[in-house]
Amino acid sequence: MKKESDLMQKIVSFSKRRGFIFQSSEIYGGFGSCYDFGPLGVEMKNNIKREWWNEMVRSREDIFGLDSSILMSPKVWEASGHLTAGFADELVECNKCKKRFRKDLLEEDRCPECGGELSEPRKFNLMMKTFVGPVEEDASTTYLRAETCQGIYVNFKNVLQTMRAKLPFGIAQIGKAFRNEITPKDFIFRTREFEQMEMQWFCDSKDADKFFDYWLDQRLNWYYGLGISKKNLKIYEVPKGELAHYARKAVDILYNFPFGWKEVEGVHNRGDWDLSNHSKHSGEDLKYEGFYPYVIETSVGADRSLLAFIAEAYQEVEGGRGEKSVKEVETVLRMDKRLSPVKIAVLPLVKNKEDLVKKARQVFDLLKRDFNVQYDESGAIGRRYRRQDEIGTPFCITIDFDTLNDDTVTVRDRDTMKQERVAVDSLTKYINLI
């Protein structure tokens, strides 16, 4: 147990030290479980989002993209059931220290902080309220969206008509969602502001089971393809009594985080819950050829999956990897090249030789059009390699004295540490091929 929490602590401090993730409003002491993605974190998160988008939208003819607004009519949330009991956590309050806890997360009947007696549970809605317009009155109250998919349902007809879509088809979007979580926990695992990547697949009800299995399979393969090992992923079918208010069936994809097996993605059969309720509340007919399509949903947090990808990739090697003798522990982020925040580091062998530095700058300029490249000339070359290994950079390109004669460089691979001599004018092709 201690080992696991140690690993999580290491990941948290690594994320800060190397510019992946900072606490929000840190100079003011932080702010209620919100986080900021630093220069490397934003690159990595963009890579995750791009991989998801390529897989779910760009590589298919039957899924369309969307970017709907965060603020919507409050009627959307009445219709979706999020303002009523459906979207609420059961809370208990400690009679002694007055702290509140989610009942479903408690392991015992007493307060986990002070051992005091707990109150009867009370429902607490998770929607974040806000006010639109200059006056804070009821008429202008709305909510920050708690799931991105509601923007998809209210645009179902728009997409159907403008894309001349035929069932089955999907609509996908990536965007922020907000929940007033009571017990935000485990770094960026559960936060109050997060980003979702959601796809809603509209189909005939008789095909729903078949597509549910199909999408679960597709989604598992996405993780495997990006380097998550099979032993660290498993599925969990949510029991009937614990299903969300909209779901007929739900399977969670669980990742083996350092703090235990936890949901990273949900695949849901939402039946006709959303389209029929929006039809009823809006008066707009959202049927397709006389019936309401069923919805199979895949929903993953961009931030939460980023944590899983970092946890999977993070490795410490005692005494180093033998490249040069190092006494200390060496950290390597062995992640899929497509997710690495920096693709290439350009390193002049020494920094005090003008023509070498000039050449390195030229190589940097050549590559920066196609890749995220970092230029680094400070410190011994071994140290610079290790700095890049630590942030998962797959390729280090070294410009040495031979480069000035034959226009070739060495390309070092992060995982094998093998170095290959490559001509400068074929570098882009070489990197793209690997």
- Give the residues lining the site for ligand GAP (CB under 6 A): 147, 149, 179, 181, 190-191, 194, 196, 198, 263-266, 297, 299-301, 303-304
The SS3 call for residue 216 is helix
State the minimum distance, in angstroms, from the CB of residue 371 to ligand GAP: 29
State the minimum distance, in angstroms, from the CB of residue 148 to ligand GAP: 7
Looking at the Cβ atoms of 192 and 387, the one nearer to ligand GAP is 192
State the minimum distance, in angstroms, from the CB of residue 273 to ligand GAP: 11
- The two tokens of residue 426 are 């074929």
Under 8 Å between Cβ of 142 and 133: no
State the minimum distance, in angstroms, from the CB of residue 268 to ligand GAP: 6
Is 361 buried (19+), middle (13-18) or exposed (0-12) by CB count in 10 A? middle
Which residue is at the shortest CB distance from ligand GAP?
301
Looking at the Cβ atoms of 173 and 393, the one nearer to ligand GAP is 173
Amino acid at 173: Q
The SS3 call for residue 64 is strand
Question: CA–CA separation, 361 vs 356, rounded Å?
Answer: 9
Under 8 Å between Cβ of 46 and 294: no
Looking at the Cβ atoms of 118 and 296, the one nearer to ligand GAP is 296
State the minimum distance, in angstroms, from the CB of residue 207 to ligand GAP: 21
Q: Is 355 left (phi over 0), alpha (psi -120 to 50) or beta?
A: alpha
State the minimum distance, in angstroms, from the CB of residue 128 to ligand GAP: 11
Looking at the Cβ atoms of 24 and 372, the one nearer to ligand GAP is 24
Question: CA–CA separation, 432 vs 434, rounded Å?
Answer: 6
- Give 67-125 as a DSSP string: ---SB--HHHHHHHTTTSGGGEEEEEEBTTT--EEEGGG-SSSB-TTT-PBB---EEEE
Question: What does each C-alpha distance from 318 to 29, 393, 397 come to in angstroms?
Answer: 34, 20, 25
Amino acid at 103: K
Looking at the Cβ atoms of 48 and 344, the one nearer to ligand GAP is 48
Looking at the Cβ atoms of 57 and 296, the one nearer to ligand GAP is 296
Question: What does each C-alpha distance from 375 to 43, 411, 434 come to in angstroms?
Answer: 16, 14, 21
State the minimum distance, in angstroms, from the CB of residue 250 to ligand GAP: 8
Looking at the Cβ atoms of 196 and 374, the one nearer to ligand GAP is 196
Looking at the Cβ atoms of 191 and 410, the one nearer to ligand GAP is 191
- The two tokens of residue 27 are 């100079």
Helix (H) or strand (E) holding 197, with range, is strand 193-203
State the minimum distance, in angstroms, from the CB of residue 157 to ligand GAP: 20
Question: CA–CA separation, 302 vs 127, rounded Å?
Answer: 20
Looking at the Cβ atoms of 265 and 389, the one nearer to ligand GAP is 265
Looking at the Cβ atoms of 32 and 115, the one nearer to ligand GAP is 32
Q: Which residues pair with 239 in a beta bridge?
A: none
Under 8 Å between Cβ of 254 and 246: no
- In the block, tokens 């902080």 appear at 113
Q: What is the dihedral of CA 56, 59, 60, 63, to 10 degrees?
A: 40
Q: Which residues pair with 298 in a beta bridge?
A: 199, 267
State the minimum distance, in angstroms, from the CB of residue 263 to ligand GAP: 5
State the minimum distance, in angstroms, from the CB of residue 322 to ligand GAP: 38
